[in-house]
Amino acid sequence: MTPETPDDELGDRPSSVPAASSQLVHCADGLLVSFAEPLGQDGLTVGGHRPITPPPTPATEASMPDGRTWRRLWVQKDHLVAEFVGAGFAEISQGSIHFDSALDPEVLRHLVLDHLVPLELTRRGHLVLHAAVASTPGSTKARGGVALAGPSGAGKSTLTAFLGSQGWNVGGDDGITVTHEETLRAQPTYSSVRLTPEGAALLEIPPENSTEIAGKKRLTNLTSWESPAFHDLNLVAFIEPTTETSEASFTALSPVQAHAHLFGCCFHLSFADAAELERINDALGDLARNCSVGVLSVPRGLDGLASAEQALLAELS
C-alpha cells in the first residue's frame, strides 16, 4: 500500500480525445510537464492515447481505507506503467506520458500532476512525501518551513489554504520532494492547492479565485505555475483532526515513531526493490534525525485552524 489516495470520483471517459492544454507546468527539480509541445526526455510530454500492455511481473498495489485497490504500478528500468482502476492505464517512457484511452481534460491533468509526476520524481531518485509545504510569514518572529502530512480527508489542504490566507508562503498541498545538503529543504512537486467544496466554503473562497479540477477547487490566488520554490524545512506535522471544542496541540514523536510515520507518507515504487527501500529508509532516517516530527491535532472549524496556526508558530519559535 502506498500513501497517496485517489479522489472519490475520476469521472467517465469521453469518446473523443480532448484538446491539449498549451500550458507548461513547472514541477520540482526543474521537471517540466507539457500538455502540448514535445519537450524531449528531460521533461514529460503528455501525448495521445494508445494501447498499453502492463509488464508480466507482479504489480505494486495501492489500496483505499476499505481495502479496495485503486492503483497498480509496474516499474521497469526505463519506464513505468500505472493502472488507475476505473480510469485506465498510463505509461511513462522516453519523456512521454500516454494513456490507453481518452480522458476528460481535468481528470487527465489530475492524474498526470498529482499521481504520475510524484512517481516519476521518485523513479529519478528523489524522496517524495505526500504532504503540503508552507513557510512562516514575515510578520511573525517564528521562522521556518512546515510540511503538513496526513491521509486524504485529514484536512491538510484546508489548513494549507488557511495559512496562505494568513500570509504564509504556500508551496503546494499534495506532494513535496525533500533534500538535505547543508540544510533540509522541501519543494512542492508542483505549485497547487486543491480544496474540497466543503473546504472552500469553510474558508469562503470566492468562485473567481478557484477553478474546477476532478471534483475539487484549485485555488488561483495562492499559487502560480512558475517554478516551485524551495522551503527550508524545520518541522513535519502529521495532521490529526479533533472536535471543534478542543485546542490544537503538537506532540513530538520519537525518532523511531517519526521514521514509521514518514515511511507511511512517502511515495514508493516497489516494495520488492531492496535497493530502493534502502535508499528511502536512509533518507527518512536522516530526515527524522534532523527535523522535528510530530502529530498536530487540528480542531474542526475556523477557530481550530487558527489554533493550529498558533501551535505551529510556537513550535517554530
One domain for residues 233 and 107: no
The residue among 184 and 223 whose pLDDT is bigger is 184
pLDDT recorded at residue 293: 97
Does any domain span residue 155?
Answer: yes
CATH number of the domain encompassing residue 236: 3.40.50
Residue 20 banded pLDDT, cuts 50, 70, 90: very low
* Residue at which a domain ends, from 104, 125, 146: 125
Phi first, then psi: what are they for 186, rounded to 5°?
-120, 145
One domain for residues 31 and 159: no
> Structural domain tally of the chain?
2
Q: Residues 138-178: pLDDT tens digits?
A: 767 778 899 999 887 889 999 999 999 999 999 989 899 99
| 3-state secondary structure (DSSP) of residue 125 | coil
One domain for residues 121 and 184: no
One domain for residues 97 and 152: no
One domain for residues 52 and 85: yes
Residue 99 banded pLDDT, cuts 50, 70, 90: very high
| Domain containing residue 235 | 128-316
Note the residue count of the chain.
317
Residue 66 banded pLDDT, cuts 50, 70, 90: confident
One domain for residues 70 and 47: yes
With beta carbons less than 8 A apart as the criterion, state whether 234 and 316 touch: yes
> What is the per-residue DSSP string for 36-71?
SS---TTSEEE---------SSPPEEEE-TTS-EEE
119's CB contacts (< 8 A; 6+ apart) are 73, 80, 82, 92, 267, 269
Does any domain span residue 18?
Answer: no
| Burial (0-12, 13-18, 19+ Cβ within 10 Å), 105 | middle
One domain for residues 151 and 280: yes
Does any domain span residue 95?
Answer: yes
> What is the per-residue DSSP string for 143-193?
--EEEEE--TTSSHHHHHHHHHHTT-EEEESS-EEEEESSSEEEEESBS--
Does any domain span residue 309?
Answer: yes
H helix or E strand, kind and range, residue 224: none
One domain for residues 221 and 295: yes
Residue 5 banded pLDDT, cuts 50, 70, 90: very low
One domain for residues 230 and 296: yes
* Residue at which a domain ends, from 91, 108, 125: 125
**Average pLDDT rounded to a whole number, residues 62-72:** 89
DSSP letter, residue 199: H
The residue among 22 and 242 whose pLDDT is bigger is 242
**Average pLDDT rounded to a whole number, residues 19-45:** 80
* Residue at which a domain ends, from 92, 125, 158: 125
Does any domain span residue 233?
Answer: yes
For residue 256, pLDDT beyond 60? yes
One domain for residues 94 and 208: no
One domain for residues 68 and 160: no
Highest mean pLDDT among 136-140, 215-219, 289-293: 289-293
The residue behind cell 512542492 is 188
Does any domain span residue 257?
Answer: yes
For residue 11, pLDDT beyond 50? no
**Average pLDDT rounded to a whole number, residues 185-210:** 90
Q: Residues 118-140: pLDDT tens digits?
A: 999 999 899 999 999 999 987 67
One domain for residues 120 and 132: no
Question: What whole-number distance in Å separates Cα of residue 184 and Cα of residue 262?
Answer: 15
